Amino acid sequence: MTRAFFPASFDPIHYGHIDIALRAREIFSEVVVGVYARPQKNILFSVEERIAMVRRALESPGSGISVVAYEELTVHFAEKIGAKVVVRGLRVFSDFELEFRMALANKRLNSGIDVVCLIANEQHMHLSSSTIREIASLGGDVSSMVPHYVASALIAKYQELANDGKSRHDLISIRD
């Protein structure tokens, strides 16, 4: 039995992430999806909000997919939960460069854990959380990119921020 760990910020989760998690589950007997609690970038949704959306998208009894929040180094957490593999997705060349560097650093930290990258589904190649946030913040329709409850949460969040007098520019990061 091989347990795989799929870590990301999921701010918010979209169909590209969902596709990677489901395909990973076809390869590995168990997939633990990790919602990184403290990314070094501007985050729109709290960890509680992000985890609730990821659970709704991926967790169901007997699915072999579970969802947890984590705060430590990815390889430390993977080791703690007994995962031998870290799963990531690759969309474009710039993803490869980042993932390659992270995989080498992770190997140095823990040589017992390997990174497996799945190539993005053509249909979802263009999706990124930052693009989705930007479209939603400008009132665009993201219903083909995220589940309906994520689309509703985006609308509600930007409405709430507008009511609080926050500018959308405070919230958008150039990174995913």
* Chain residues that interact with ligand ADP, rule: CB under 6 A: 8-10, 16-17, 20, 36, 39, 88-91, 95, 120, 124, 127-129, 176
Cβ 163 to ligand ADP, closest distance in Å?
Answer: 27
- In the complex with ligand ADP, which residue's Cβ is closer, 86 or 162? 86
If DSSP codes are grouped into helix, strand and coil, which group holds residue 59? coil
- In the complex with ligand ADP, which residue's Cβ is closer, 39 or 147? 39
Cβ 119 to ligand ADP, closest distance in Å?
Answer: 8
- Buried/exposed code over 70-109 (b: 16+ C-beta within 10 A; e: otherwise): beeebbebbbeeebbbbbbbbbeeebeeebeeebeebeee
Rounded CA separation 81/9 (Å): 18
Cβ 130 to ligand ADP, closest distance in Å?
Answer: 8
- In the complex with ligand ADP, which residue's Cβ is closer, 30 or 124? 124
- In the complex with ligand ADP, which residue's Cβ is closer, 128 or 158? 128
Q: How many CA atoms lie within 13 A of 52 on its CB side?
A: 8
Rounded CA separation 26/87 (Å): 12
Query: What angle (nearest 5°) sits at the alpha carbon of residue 62, between those of residues 38 and 116?
Result: 50
Cβ 77 to ligand ADP, closest distance in Å?
Answer: 13
